[in-house]
Amino acid sequence: MKTLVLANQKGGVGKSAIATQLAHYSRTIGLRVLVIDLDHQRNTSRPLMAHADVMTLPVTSGTVLEEDATVEIRTTDQIVLLAGDDKLTALEKQAGNHNAFATRLRNLLKACDQSFDLCIIDTNPNPDIRYASALISADYALAPVQLNQEAIEGIAGLLGHPRFGLSKIKTALNPKLEFLGILPNLVEPTPFQRGNMITLTEKFGTRLVSEKRAGETRYGFIPKRSAIAEAQAVGQFLPELKKTAARDAWNEIQPVFDMVLSRMGFKIASEALN
C-alpha cells in the first residue's frame, strides 16, 4: 500500500475535493482505496459517506489515534473510509501522548498494508500532531494551493517550517517521504491568476506537479468548476453527474490525477473514463 497525504498549512485550498475525487477515480481504475480523514471539519468524510460505493468503518480517526481501538477491515471492492470526528481537535493539547498518536497511526497503516493499494490521508490545515503523524508515516505528500499571494507566500512554511516543514520531516523523521509537488487548485482564467501562476512557476517551478512531454514541461492544475462543488455537495464522483459541465470538468481533471498516480508508480489504464 502506498500512502499519500494531502498537506497544506492553509485552509480553503480544496484538499477535500481532491481527496474525494481522487479516491473515486483510483477505485474505478482498479485500486483498493483506504481514505483517512484527520480533519475534524470532515469535508472529506461527508461526501464519501453519502456514496453507495464507500464503506465507512464503525470507528473514527480520532478514536484510533487516541485509543488502542481495534479496526477490522475486510477485503472489499468499495472505498473504505476512516471518518474524522470532534476528538481530533483535542489531540494537540495532549503533548505527552503525541508519540503514541503517531505510533497508532503508523500501526494502522502497517495493518492495512496488504488490504489496500492506496491510502489517501486528508489533513487539517493547522500544523499539529495530526498533520505531523500523517507525514511521518506517509510515502508521498501533495500540496494543493490557491493562486493568490498569501498562499504562494505560505509555501515557504509548508516546505521549511522548523517543526512541521516537509523538508524537516523528511530529514529527521521519514526519509522515504517523497514530495509529489505543489498542485494549483481552483484556478480561474483571469489575468490576476495567470500572473500568480507565472510567479509560482518562477519561484517553485521544480516543486510543481508536472510532467515532460515532447521535451516540454507541462504543469498540472485543477480549474475552478461549479460541477466539482456540486459533486461534493451531493456525494458523487464527478463523472457520475450526467451533465456536460461535469464531463468537461472531468476531462480537465483526469490528466492531472493520472500525473499524480503515475508519479506514485501506479499504471494508468483509464481510457473508459475519457
- CA dist., res. 241 & res. 258, Å (int): 20
Q: Answer yes or no: is pLDDT of 272 > 50.
A: no
Contact 87, 97 (CB under 8 A): no
Contact 256, 245 (CB under 8 A): no
25-63 pLDDT tens trace? 999 999 999 999 999 999 999 999 999 999 999 999 999
CA Rg value for the chain: 18
Q: What is the pLDDT of residue 232?
A: 96
Domain of residue 187, CATH code: 3.40.50.300
Q: Mean pLDDT across the stretch 12-20? A: 90
Averaged pLDDT score across all residues of the chain: 91
Q: Mean pLDDT across the stretch 1-8? A: 94
Q: What is the pLDDT of residue 58?
A: 93
Q: What is the pLDDT of residue 8?
A: 84
Dihedral angle over CA of 100, 8, 158, 66, nearest 10: -10
Q: Answer yes or no: is pLDDT of 271 > 60.
A: no
88-112 pLDDT tens trace? 999 999 999 999 999 999 999 999 9
Q: What is the pLDDT of residue 268?
A: 81
Mean pLDDT lowest among 104-108, 187-191, 192-196, 270-274 = 270-274
Range of the domain at 48: 2-273
Contact 162, 168 (CB under 8 A): yes
Question: Can you say how many angstroms the Cα of residue 88 is from the centroid of all Cα atoms in its chain?
Answer: 18
- Name the residue with higher pLDDT: 58 or 274: 58
Q: Three-class SS string for the chain?
A: CEEEEECCCCCCCCHHHHHHHHHHHHHHCCCCEEEEECCCCCCCHHHHHCCCCEEECCCCHHHHHHCCCCCCCCCCCCEEEECCCHHHHHCCCCHHHHHHHHHHHHHHHHHCCCCCCEEEEECCCCCCHHHHHHHHHCCEEEEEECCCHHHHHHHHHHHHCCCCCHHHHHHHCCCCCEEEEEEECCECCCHHHHHHHHHHHHHHHHHECEEEECCEEEECCCECCHHHHHHHHHCCCHHHCCCHHHHHHHHHHHHHHHHHHHHCCCCCCCHHHC
Domains contained in the chain, number: 1
Contact 22, 136 (CB under 8 A): no
**What percent of the chain has pLDDT above 90?**
74
Q: Answer yes or no: is pLDDT of 74 > 80.
A: no
194-235 pLDDT tens trace? 999 998 898 888 899 988 877 788 889 999 999 999 999 999
Name the band, by pLDDT with cuts 50, 70 and 90, for residue 274.
very low
Q: Three-class SS string for 105-150?
A: HHHHHHHCCCCCCEEEEECCCCCCHHHHHHHHHCCEEEEEECCCHH
